[in-house]
Amino acid sequence: MKKVALTAAAALMATTSAIAQVETRTVTFENEGARLSGTLYLPENHDGSALPAVVVTGAWTTVEEQMPRVYAEQMVERGFAAFTFDFRGWGKSGDLPQNVRFVESPETKTSDIRAAFDFVATLPEVDADRINGLGICASAGYMIDAVAGNDLVSRIGLVAPWLQNEEIVEAVYGGAEGVSGLIDMSRAAEAAGGQIIPAAGPEGAEGVLMPIGGYYYEADRGAIPEYDNQWNNAGWEGWLTYHPADDPNRLTQPLAVVHSEAAAIPQGVRSFLEGFAGEATLRMLEDVTQFDFYDNPEDVTRAADTMAAHFAVGSES
């Protein structure tokens, strides 16, 4: 990893912009025969000129109105256009083939992000030479894969990235035996046409993907009306065999990462960056949990400042 410092000019742009009012426009675009619903975020009363842009994606099972919207608004306040969307099979977007929904498919979501970049590049309010990607939590891996080899994308940022490899997967999901059992469940669910369970529930709940309470279960945080709160067990195999921490040099664009040792699997970030030969900026915050990165104002602001400064380097004229 080649470490770099953010320029003073870029940092100033990120931290001193006045709080802007944000206006939004709902749009749709197509990918692999399905219609996806997205939102373009712009400064209020924007004059129509082309702005540098950031495509923002969120954690697993989420919809665009959750942490993607939070960071999209932060990017607009710092001088960028921003774009969020619902992946196929989630939120307001169309289904996966055979009318399947709620499958956490890295392959599908990576394809959707690529399609989002293609679409955003056609918008008159966006400078197609200054498009960036920002992935949060699980979608950090998808964002890396969508950006790798993609000449449309200038820079990439990751907030609280969940970058797993085989070792991390086994550590999180009950060892080789636990992983094997979940893959068997996945195959049985897929053969049955899907098996839907609640994504979030209170601490200790049974039959729930995340029986931990917190962000996804609190109405004033992630448990918003737009949230599907669904998980399809058919998605386990694709998720557990997905190792985005491997082969870091598939990514060649400059990278910025904000994480914390108190958040989820920081060892995945270390593994990725140890093997990454490109230009990278890493900011580790103290005592910030994974959910704090989603909506805690102080932590979101610090992460957004770092991301905006990183993207601003590619936006300097």
pLDDT in tens, 150-180: 999 999 999 999 999 999 999 999 999 999 9
CB-based contact 300:71 (threshold 8 Å): yes
Q: With both helix axes pointing from N to C terminus, report the angle between 139-147 and 106-120 in degrees, rounded to the nearest 10.
A: 60
- What confidence score (pLDDT) does residue 3 get? 63
Q: Are 87 and 55 in contact (CB under 8 A)?
A: no
Compute the chain's Rg from CA coordinates.
19
Distance separating alpha carbons of residues 145 and 147, to the nearest angstrom: 5
Q: Is the dihedral of CA 98, 101, 102, 108 positive or negative?
A: positive
DSSP conformational letter for 287: T
Give the count of beta carbons closer than 10 Å to the beta carbon of residue 195: 18
Q: pLDDT tens digits, residue range 2-26? A: 665 554 444 444 443 445 699 999 9
Q: What is the DSSP string of 53-75?
A: EEEEE-STT--TTTHHHHHHHHH
Residue 128 tokens read as 């197609």
The identity of residue 227, as a single letter, is Y
| pLDDT tens, residue by residue, 182-229 | 999 999 999 999 999 999 999 999 999 999 999 999 999 999 999 999
Backbone angles phi, psi at 80, to 5 degrees: -110, 155
Tokens representing 34 are 């399905």
Number of H helices, E strands in the chain: 10, 11
Q: Which helix (H) or strand (E) holds 312?
A: helix 297-313
pLDDT digits (tens, 9 = 90+) for 109-138: 999 999 999 999 999 999 999 999 999 999
The mean pLDDT of 294-315, rounded to a whole number, is 94
Inter-residue contact 58 to 67 (CB < 8 Å)? yes
Distance of CA 208 to the CA centre of its chain: 22
Q: Would you say domain 2-164+244-313 falls under CATH 3.40.50.1820?
A: yes
Q: What is the DSSP-derived secondary structure letter of residue 96?
A: B
What's residue 2's pLDDT?
Answer: 65
Q: Please state, in angstroms and as integers, the Cα–Cα distance from residue 282 to each residue in 44, 104, 239, 273, 286, following that order.
A: 32, 27, 26, 9, 13
As a whole number, mean pLDDT of residues 224-237 equals: 98
* Residue 271: φ, ψ to 5°: -60, -45
Task: Answer left, alpha or beta for residue 174, where phi above 0 means left and psi between -120 and 50 means alpha.
Answer: left
Per-residue pLDDT, averaged over 45-57, amounts to 96
3-state secondary structure of 311: helix
Alpha carbon distance 92, 38 (integer Å): 9
104: helix, coil or strand?
coil
Neighbours of 9 (CB within 10 A): 12
- DSSP-assigned letter for residue 29: E
For the chain, which residues make up each domain, given as ranges?
Answer: 2-164+244-313
Q: Rounded mean pLDDT of the chain?
A: 94
Residue 265 falls in which region: left (phi positive, over 0), alpha (psi -120 to 50) or beta: left
For the cut 70, the answer to whether the pLDDT of residue 274 exceeds it is yes
Give CA–CA dist 62/66, Å, rounded. 7
Structural contact between residues 202 and 211, judged by C-beta atoms closer than 8 angstroms: yes
- The answer to whether residue 317 scores a pLDDT higher than 60 is no
